[in-house]
Structure 1
């Protein structure tokens, strides 16, 4: 039996720019049936739904609020060597919202996609 995908929806300004960014920097695979308003990419069980203003997810709420990109919610990508991965991504033009933060559970940093949505890169702390 195949694994059921986990869907995460991100609002984006430029659908194709975001597809290209996730494919290039994080190894996602584009799924068919993309349009200027919507596309999906996947990596393992994670399916990332990239919705522009013209998609059904981009419609205003009953109170008039508009769905928009950015914010603080994110998904996490586990890496083995965070400094090396950050160096690779920075050399390729990826923008980070912060510097590496070290805590008791590990180290993390927040990469921003072209729409300002976040991907957390996380290296778990070494356990004795």
Structure 2
């Protein structure tokens, strides 16, 4: 496995379900999996670490707070023809947080993985 300078870790409810989502819907490749605890996926230069409930990254903090999926931090995936990608994902019952937003640099929309983690799909102008 080639080591990249930085990776993104998402806390997920179910590693198997998340691996299936990212590989079948967003074109990631499974590189390594450690049972239900963790999986490492790759897409282009992005390494995505999925940490399930048994993973060390999911353990409670000293104050008792527990890492949870969701929130507003997100990975950004650049896609061609955003509208057609959104249509395909909607047909696959992927959840979206909003509709396509037009901005000065391009168009974007937020979808969610099965655990509720945000993924921005971005089509540059």
Question: What TM-score, normalized to structure 1?
Answer: 0.90
Gaps of 5+ in 1: none
* Separation in structure 1 between the aligned mates of residue 3 and residue 35 of structure 2, nearest angstrom: 26
Superposed CA RMSD in Å reads 1.4
Question: Any conservation in 2 of the 1:5–1:45 contact (CA below 8 Å)?
Answer: no
Gaps of 5+ in 2: none
Question: What TM-score, normalized to structure 2?
Answer: 0.92
* Separation in structure 1 between the aligned mates of residue 99 and residue 114 of structure 2, nearest angstrom: 18
Moved over 3 A (4+): none
The corresponding residue for 2:108 is 108
Question: Any conservation in 2 of the 1:11–1:58 contact (CA below 8 Å)?
Answer: yes
* Separation in structure 2 between the aligned mates of residue 67 and residue 32 of structure 1, nearest angstrom: 22
How many Å apart are 1:5 and its aligned residue? 5.5
* Separation in structure 2 between the aligned mates of residue 87 and residue 5 of structure 1, nearest angstrom: 34
Which has the greater radius of gyration? 1
